[in-house]
Amino acid sequence: MTSTTAPACRVCGASLREFLDLGRQPLSDAFLTPDADPSEEFFFHLAVGHCTGCTMVQLMEEVPREKMFREDYPYHSSGSSVMRAHFTATARGLLDRELTGEDPFLVELGCNDGVMLDTVRQAGVRHLGVDPSAGVGDVARAKGVRVRTAFFEEATAREIAAEDGRADVVYAANTLCHIPYLDSVFRGLDAVLAPGGVFVFEDPYLGDIVERTSYDQIYDEHFYLFTARSVAALAERFGFELVDVERLPVHGGEVRYTLARAGARTPAPAVAALLAEEAERGLAEPETLDAFATRVARSREDLLALLTRLRDEGRTVVAYGATAKSATVANYCGIGPDLVSFVCDTTPAKQGRLTPGAHLPVRPATAFAEPHPDYALLFAWNHAEEIMAKEPAFTASGGHWITYVPEVRVL
């Protein structure tokens, strides 16, 4: 007799309740070379559930980490001037507030191309970036940043503690939510953090995702969608405590969480305030998540209706920004080259390739003006201000931007 077991929460083991099914999806960052064999493309089932125990929102299926974070991982954090400024300010804040003792030491998980650590390096502060994607790590090394090419987990943390000593700060941006094996990560944090040290991390916030129907924040790499409530429970489970939270405008809405060892610091009032706001909104309640899923389905209908109408009217439509997020939208909605001719993107590693699953050609940003299309679908809606500021000629020539966050709209 065979039986299928429903997936259990990766944090606490309680049962998961699925609330959103985004269908068959590719690896969001696996851009195909034009001669690649499409039959070899990897797909998985993208569905999201919430834990009936600790409330953590997470994917129902886990993609093997080696498939996502490889030598040729194409995402380079320094591609956005807004994000460069954000990480310079972040580094300065950590230097001023946490790294003031004698010979301080900072470890960053997912340091990517060194966008944050370069400022720490320039300040002469001891640091180590940990990132499994060798290509982006090499870019960081070329800046003089120290990088270990590895997945952060318990074993890596123990090696770092033995070689470099304990860290005053462990920092991670847009990385912790990528790591299903948080039990190993937290045992590692316990090994590598100094007794009074802090773990600071920032990731897309479920509160913003639900509020803006930004379902494209859900893809293979984003295994968890955190809330203050689920993070507080996670921290407590592993002997830590949520001592501060800060909402951030970047990437469509994130929260920066600060964790310390339980009892080591007095939690800031912002923690209780955000927990109360989440309770008031019923953020972890099944009804709230089901209503979100209904809005997601509606968003797909609206976007397909708009793009189909524009095609039937003979308008030219291209997309702007071959974001990982856009893989979810293109594959869930079925947006192929018949609806969007190509995507322009400044990342050399994506250009000349096809987007995962939907197979939209990726062309350099210069292709946008050769000539300007009638409509441009903002796949990188989280960088809208920056992109619109550098493409004034598009609207001046009569072009229109299309967004789908918080709803499908021609701007």
- The residues binding ligand TMP (CB under 6 A) are 79-80, 321-324, 345-347, 350, 365, 380, 382-383, 386-387
Rounded least distance, CB 81 to ligand TMP, Å: 7
Residues 13-42 binding Zn ion (CB under 5 A) are 14
Q: Is residue 175 at the binding interface for ligand SAM, with CB under 6 A as the rule?
A: yes
Q: Is 263 exposed, middle or buried (0-12, 13-18, 19+ CB in 10 A)?
A: exposed
C-alpha span between 43 and 80 (Å, rounded):
29
Please state, as a whole number, how many other Cβ atoms lie within 10 Å of the Cβ of residue 387: 21
**Minimum CB distance to Zn ion, residue 286 (Å):** 15
Shortest reach from residue 136's CB to ligand TMP, in Å: 13
Residue 357 binds: one of ligand SAM, ligand TMP, Zn ion, none (C-beta under 5 to 8 A by kind): none
Q: Which two tokens stand for residue 282?
A: 């019923």
Is residue 109 at the binding interface for ligand SAM, with CB under 6 A as the rule?
A: yes
Residue 355, binding choice from ligand TMP, Zn ion, ligand SAM, none, Cβ under 5 to 8 Å by partner class: none
57: amino acid identity, one letter: V
Q: Which is nearer to Zn ion, 13 or 249 (CB)?
A: 13
Q: Is residue 371 reached through a cis peptide bond, with omega within 30 degrees of 0 on the bond before it? A: yes
> Looking at beta carbons only, is 79 or 357 nearer to ligand TMP?
79
> What is the chain's length?
411
Question: What does each C-alpha distance from 63 to 19, 20, 301 come to in angstroms?
Answer: 19, 17, 28
Residue with the CB atom nearest ligand SAM in the bound state = 110
Nearer to ligand TMP, 296 or 362 (CB): 362
* Residue from 9, 322, 402, 408 binding Zn ion (CB under 5 A): 9
Tokens of 243: 């001592």
- Respond yes or no on whether the N-terminal peptide bond of residue 406 is cis (omega within 30° of 0): yes
By beta-carbon proximity to ligand TMP, the closer residue of 52 and 81 is 81
Q: Which residue, 115 or 245, has its beta carbon nearer to ligand TMP? A: 115
Kindly indicate which of the ranges 47-55, 130-138, 327-335, 403-411 contains the residues binding ligand SAM, using the contact rule CB under 6 A: 130-138
Shortest CB 95 distance to ligand SAM, Å? 17
Task: Give which of ligand SAM, ligand TMP, Zn ion, none residue 164 binds (C-beta under 5 to 8 Å, depending on kind).
Answer: none
Distance CA(329)–CA(108), nearest Å, equals: 30
Task: Give buried/exposed letters for 70-107 (b at 16+ CB in 10 A, else e).
Answer: beebbbbbbbbeebbebbeebbeebbeebbeeeebbbb
* Window of 107-115, 296-304, 371-379, 382-390 that interacts with ligand SAM by CB under 6 A: 107-115
Q: Which is nearer to ligand SAM, 49 or 110 (CB)?
A: 110
If phi > 0 it is left, if psi is from -120 to 50 it is alpha, else beta; for residue 239 that is left
Closer residue to ligand TMP (CB): 57 or 344: 344
Backbone φ and ψ for 104, nearest 5 degrees, come out as -70, 160
The nearer residue to ligand SAM, 227 or 382, going by C-beta atoms, is 382
Q: How far apart are CA 213 and CA 385, in angstroms?
A: 19
Among positions 11, 161, 303, 344, the unique one binding Zn ion when judged by CB under 5 A: 11
Q: Which of residues 217-246 bind ligand SAM (CB under 6 A)?
A: none
Nearer to ligand TMP, 170 or 344 (CB): 344
**Can you name the residues that pair with 258 across neighbouring β-strands?**
200, 244
Q: Of the two residues 51 and 335, which places its CB atom closer to Zn ion in the complex?
A: 51
Residues 51-70 that bind Zn ion (CB under 5 A): 51, 53-54, 56
Task: Say how far apart CA 240 and CA 193 lie, in whole Å.
Answer: 11
Minimal distance, residue 55 CB to Zn ion, in Å: 7
Give the Cα-Cα-Cα angle 125, 249, 409 (nearest 5 degrees). 145
Edge-to-edge order in the sheet of strand 224-225? 16-26, 43-51, 57-59, 224-225
CB of 156 to Zn ion, least distance (A): 25
Indicate the residue type of 87.
F
16 phi/psi in degrees, rounded to 5: -105, 145
Residues of the shown chain interacting with ligand SAM in the complex, contacts defined by CB under 6 A: 69, 73, 75, 77, 109-110, 112, 115, 130-133, 136, 151-152, 173-175, 178-179
